[in-house]
Structure 1
Amino acid sequence: MKKLVRDKIPEFATEATYRELPKEEIEPALKNKLIEETQEVVEAKTEDNLIEELGDVYEVLTAYLKFKGVSQEEFLKLVATKRDYKGGFTKFLEMTIED
């Protein structure tokens, strides 16, 4: 199994081997890690575990933004612009489309 791991994992998991990814492999690895961490959010069994997993999603998202050269300020402006246009998720609306 190969997967992107946090920077300090080699200090704890010494049985594995590690390599620094070349630039062309980073974005696919970040996408896969985002999927992995999001799935862990879905599978979280406790409130504490849920918050921890959301933190992992945040860490991956932050790394992805940095990799793409997008500042958090710029990103949050884009998020706010979309929220202004389409709204947020505060009303918890569910849409149904009939076939």
Structure 2
Amino acid sequence: MKKILIALATATTLAATGAFADAHEEMTMGEGLTMFEALVANELAEYDIEADVTMLTLGQLAQIRAITETDENTEKKREDIMAIVSDM
């Protein structure tokens, strides 16, 4: 009987730990997305572009970030970014 209780307690602990880890990973991913959105929002402000970054997809955010890292001139970057945010 003692072995059954120990096994049950161990299984319960492992299941609870796994659920906690899953919840923590989701929270961390959300925080990472929020930080990425804030980074892109700052970059949009630098190019004088108004857009709600929370309405952009992750792909659009990544495209904007990639554009800001190119060697293109500022006006070309602004045009390329505007093409993305105008599709919102």
Greater RCO (Cα-Cα under 8 Å, separation 6 or more) = 2
- Over alpha carbons, which structure has the higher Rg? 2
TM-score normalised per structure 2 = 0.27
- Greater helix share, 1 or 2? 2
TM-score normalised per structure 1 = 0.24
